[in-house]
A and B are shown apart, each in its own frame.
Chain A
Amino acid sequence: MSDETLRIGVFVCDCGHNIAGIVDTEEVARCAAELPDVVTVVKNRYTCADPGQNEIKKAIAEHRLNRVVIASCTPKIHEPTFRNCVAEAGLNPYLMEMANIREHCSWVHMKDREGATAKAKDLVSSAVGRARRLEPQDEKVFPVTNAALVIGGGVAGIEAALELADGGHQVYLVEKGPSIGGIMSALDKTFPTMDCSI
């Protein structure tokens, strides 16, 4: 991959008014277009929605993109979404990078549009810089031990253990005290049905 010419696509998300209400996303997109190896910049209203994802897939095919940068929300929400999206378009999911211009920018600099826009541009530039050096990766697959540990034998622990066991999984239910039942077992009746708690 390192011998290949870099072809980066940048996708700037408005997230409705969440980002575009503060950050000048047009300006961010304009600047992104000037960054090294960026061959296309697309602005979306909602990049995570199907039309937004389709734009990404379309651009990957059309512009033969081998890196994708998405300037939107925190990767903690949509990194899996966008990794899947680029993978569906035939790109290694590790060649996608996100710039968090919502949680770390538009939402925390609401009274400083200029500062927020400058920061968003930097975050995109930083993500593009990183994207240029990304390498494809293969995820390892490991087997899963078909058993669960449930810590706490109150009503929640008992219920979770029963559900899992009924589903065919081995369960270890660990309770610190001498009996399961927890606090609920000491209640006389429970609302709203006013029935016995045990």
Chain B
Amino acid sequence: MMDAGRHPRIQLLVNSEVEDITGFVGNYRAAVRQHAQYVDASECTSCGDCGDVCPVVVPDEYQQGFSSRRAIYLPFPQAVPASYYLDADNCLGFNPIACGKCFEACEKKCIDFDVRDEVLDLEVGAVIVATGMEPYDPRPYDEYGYTRFENVITSMEFERLICAGGPTAGELKRPTDGAIPQRIGFIQCVGSRSPNRGVPYCSNICCMNTVKQTLQIAEHYPESQQKVFYIDIRAFGKGFEDMYRRSREEGVDYVRGLPGSVEEDPQTRDLVIHVENTLTGKREEHRLDMLVLATGLVPRKLNGSGTRSVDEILSLSHTSDGFLMEAHPKLKPVDAPTRGVYFAGCAEAPKDVKDSVTQAGAAASRAGNLLGAGQVRIEAITARLVEDLCAQCKICANVCPFNAVVEANKKQSIYPDFIEAACAGCGTCAAECPFDAIVMRHFEDAQITAQIDAILADDAMSKIVAFACNWCSYAGGDTAGTSRLQYPPAIRLIRTMCSGRVDQKFIWHAFEQGAPMVLVSGCHFSDCHYIDAVTWTQRRVEKVWTQMEKLGIRPERLQLEWISAAEGQKFARVMRELDIMLRSISEQEVAETVEILKKKRPGAPKIVAPTAQPLASAPA
């Protein structure tokens, strides 16, 4: 911690939140809000005079609420930066000054009530997401009595009680009477491995954390009796089995079975645990002085002061457990699907300190390779304007999520300017351009139409033409594959970078060529890798639905689905559902559609972007 605080190349931005990140691999730009620092950390000597005079007393979060702190306080003794911190939410107020006692008490005058938030504009090549996790809140497990019985605590609370720097100076005192508990119990898997309450996965660290805590108690209080109620003890890491064996040798009683209920003796405040020992099949009753709940780990809810979490800002997908999804579970375990973004620590999955450090090293190495290379190649999939076809309608500039299309500077050119470095290649502009004046490199109209034609060349009735975006739906199909989730083989996927690329003429072309069904599939709105390109997909499909209805074509034959990269299950389910729908479409119906479209193929309609200027000058 201290090394990070004094490293010349690390700028520490505490009390800060990322508000926005734009750009692309090697060239990101981050807006970081540094909340007002009322205490100048470079001047503060942590003398504590300010805290001594502060009249506000609130529970100390660091000590899990077992002790109190002031509104101006040192977060914990080894805090970095080693500075007092003014908690503006609890301070009596300084604008206008309602108290100001700390200000008067500070000899060095390092408290300044006039500072304001600052938004920093940082240019970076790589981003490492190390946003961590949070412990599970065990209150849904009402039968364990947490919050009803004071002597039932969580494993995090135990950490503070046994710590020399904790509220009891390391004396394990039970909350009701301050007595040293002689009979201590632990319940494992609180919130973990439970599909009904909490989370279905194993939280990875709780078994070993409990084993560690039993050894700490055995060391501090050799006379104590300890019991661990568990389903399985997972001691799989290096040195772990040895620790578990030591714990058993210390006399810790491992009882296989999770308690059904916990009661409190109102006189003694002792706890009575009822459990079925699954090794003997017998019901047992255990009396304890104190009970520790080994709570699991859950994904952190990242919403900060703004409305967008880091996950949303970076369009990061999640696996079904709610943790961040890697680019590949085995081959790219620390890479995000977005190039130049890497994961470290529990944001990706629950893990212990050693694994967090290992992963952080891997993430740093991946980022270091990128930064050290000094340059980065960008896939040649950007938009290009064919000026001869452009009618200067400005739709492209209005729909581009990246502001990569800039309206014409009339002095230089009458055509909009396509900035290649800013273009991310979603293809929304090309799909929305009514004049086919935009070419998406490597995802050109002719290339996609050729795929449709090849698919429908024979036996079209048995096939579903599907467009899937590279990041989510196509990857969701891959997840279904790696998980071996079976579905009928009617679907024929055509990959585009974004569903925003799916021009309505592709859809009409497929129907014209005899497709019984068409699927357009993209990312969930919050996952879209192209900011809001997916909203254009939806609008476009809705327009096609309206047209289909007008033409007498059943709109159900065009389906729209949002499937994330992690949703292999959903992908397979949608494919099964589409297959059932496919059977409801007759050859006659398809033949009629082909006839209808031969007579009147909806051309590119006049599309008015919601934010567009009036298009009076645009030809129809």
| Residues of chain A having any CB pair with chain B under 8 Å | 74-77, 94, 100, 102-105, 107-112, 115-116, 118-119, 122-123, 125-130, 132-135, 137-192, 194, 197-198
Contacts and interface: CB of A to CB of B under 8 A. Distances in A.
B239 A192 contact: yes
B376 A181 contact: no
A156 B304 contact: no
B492 interface: yes
A188 B216 contact: yes
A194 B212 contact: yes
A113 to B, nearest CB: 10
Interface in B368-385: 368, 370-381
Interface stretch (B108-116, B261-269, B449-457): B449-457
B365 to A, nearest CB: 7
B325 to A, nearest CB: 13
B375 A107 contact: no
A183 B132 contact: yes
A174 B371 contact: no
B375 A141 contact: yes
A153 B17 CA distance: 11
A27 B578 CA distance: 27
Given A191-B208, A191-B211, A126 B455 contact: yes
B127 A175 contact: no
Nearest to B337: A76
B488 to A, nearest CB: 7
Contact of B488 (A115, A122, A167): A115
B271 interface: no
Interface in B62-117: 62, 64, 75-76, 78-81, 85
A104 B132 CA distance: 34
A164 to B, nearest CB: 5
A177 B14 contact: yes
Interface of B: 1, 3-5, 7-18, 21, 24, 26-28, 30, 32, 62, 64, 75-76, 78-81, 85, 122-135, 156, 159-160, 162-164, 166, 208-209, 211-212, 215-216, 237-240, 242-243, 304, 310, 328, 331, 342, 344-347, 352-353, 356-357, 359-361, 363-365, 367-368, 370-381, 420-421, 441-442, 444, 446-448, 450-451, 453-455, 457, 459, 463, 474-475, 477-478, 480-482, 484-489, 492-495, 572
A131 to B, nearest CB: 9
Contact of A187 (B21, B159, B356, B486): B159
Contacts of B481: 74, 102-104, 107-108
Q: Could you say which of A103, A139, A162, A188 has the most chain B C-beta atoms within 10 Å of its C-beta?
A: A188
Contact of B166 (A100, A148, A151, A188): A188
Contact of A176 (B16, B62, B156, B450): B16
Nearest to A143: B375
B75 A178 contact: yes
Given A149-B122, A151-B127, A151-B310, A175 B12 contact: yes
Contact of B78 (A74, A149, A181, A188): A181
Given A125-B455, A133-B444, 4 more contacts: A129-B450, A147-B371, A151-B130, A169-B9
B357 to A, nearest CB: 5
A50 to B, nearest CB: 18
A108 B17 contact: no
9 contacts: A109-B489, A125-B454, A130-B451, A144-B26, A148-B125, A149-B21, A159-B356, A175-B15, A181-B1
B380 A138 contact: yes
A146 B374 contact: yes
Contact of A126 (B81, B331, B454, B486): B454
Contacts of A175: 12-16
A151 B380 contact: no
B204 to A, nearest CB: 12
Nearest to A167: B368
A94 B345 CA distance: 36
Contacts of B208: 191-192
What 8 A-B pairs have minimum CB-CB distances, sorted nearest first? A156-B345, A103-B481, A163-B364, A157-B130, A137-B380, A144-B26, A129-B454, A159-B360
A75 B444 CA distance: 18
